[in-house]
């Protein structure tokens, strides 16, 4: 699975499915892109791939552990329609 943040495709360091969404470890530019989107409204965040494909998500948690930043992303509604 990847994250689509605005127009950027981001591959998390790790990503795992949790109830209602995913938990991902992001680093560097990937983390900055997510934070810009979540806190400054710079694009939507969606999941690409897996059973949550094309689902918008919202950041519901951020946890820092050593060099890792783990973010919790929970789905917001149905998958986007393909045109």
**Unique residue bearing structure tokens 């400054």:** 40
Does residue 80 fall inside a structural domain? no
Q: Give the pLDDT mean for 40-63.
A: 90
Does residue 82 fall inside a structural domain? no
Does residue 33 fall inside a structural domain? yes
Q: Is the pLDDT of residue 82 over 80?
A: no
Burial status of residue 83 (CB atoms within 10 A of its CB: 0-12, 13-18, 19 or more): exposed
Number of domains in the chain: 1
Does residue 49 fall inside a structural domain? yes
CA dihedral of residues 62, 65, 68, 72 (deg, nearest 10): -30
Report pLDDT for 70.
97
pTM, to two decimals: 0.88
- Indicate left, alpha or beta for 24 from its phi (over 0: left) and psi (-120 to 50: alpha): beta
Identify the domain containing residue 71 by its residue range: 2-75
Does residue 25 fall inside a structural domain? yes
What's 56's DSSP letter? B
Does residue 41 fall inside a structural domain? yes
- pLDDT grade for 6, boundaries at 50, 70 and 90: confident
Q: Is the pLDDT of residue 28 over 80?
A: yes
């Amino acid at each position: 699975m990847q994250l689509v943040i605005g127009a950027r495709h981001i591959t998390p360091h790790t990503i795992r499915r949790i109830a209602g969404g995913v938990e991902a470890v992001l680093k560097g530019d990937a983390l900055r892109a997510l934070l810009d989107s979540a806190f400054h409204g710079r694009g939507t965040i969606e999941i690409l791939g897996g059973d949550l494909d094309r689902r918008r998500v919202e950041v519901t948690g951020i946890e820092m552990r050593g060099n890792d930043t783990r973010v919790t992303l929970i789905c917001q509604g149905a998958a986007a329609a393909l045109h």
